Amino acid sequence: MTVKELANAFDYEILCLPDEAREIRGGYAGDLLSWVMGKLDADSAWVTIMSNVNIIAVATLTDPSCIILSEGVSPDEGVLARAEQQGINLLSAKKTTFEVCADLASML
């Protein structure tokens, strides 16, 4: 499943999609950045409620297929521009982190 297919299937809002054909091969949910650094696999979807610009650095280094901001969180100022610049796909969902993970699991 590509990031775009996921967004369409569950009506997630697309905040930016510089790499829309990117395949999703797994998932990880977490908000503590050094846990995420240690555990998030490349090509996975990362579900988080952290909305500050440091998530883009973490994603640039770990290479997930997208970040999904859950629980209706919106990104802080500057995050979108940085995501676009680094080629990081960013979605947002009104659903809880658990529900987003359930969506992901149903598709993988």
Partner 1 sequence: MDKVNFHFEIDGENFTSAGEASVRIKKMLREMGFTPEIIRRVSVAMYEGEINMVIHANGGEADVNVFCDRIEIILADRGPGIPNIDLAMQEGYSTAPDNIRSLGFGAGMGLPNMKRYTDDMKIESEVGKGTTIVMTVNV
- Per CB under 8 A, the segment of 14-22, 34-42, 66-74, 96-104 that binds partner 1 is 34-42
Residue 31 binding: pick among partner 1, ligand ATP, none (C-beta 5-8 Å cut-off by kind): partner 1
How large is the angle between the packed helices 97-107 and 3-10, nearest 10 degrees? 120
Q: How far is the CB of 11 from ligand ATP (least distance, A)?
A: 33
Q: How far apart are CA 98 and CA 63, in angstroms?
A: 22
The interface mask with ligand ATP, positions 6-45, x = CB under 6 A, is ---------------------------xx-----------
| 52 is a site residue for partner 1 (CB under 8 A) | yes
Q: How far apart are CA 79 and CA 94, in angstroms?
A: 18
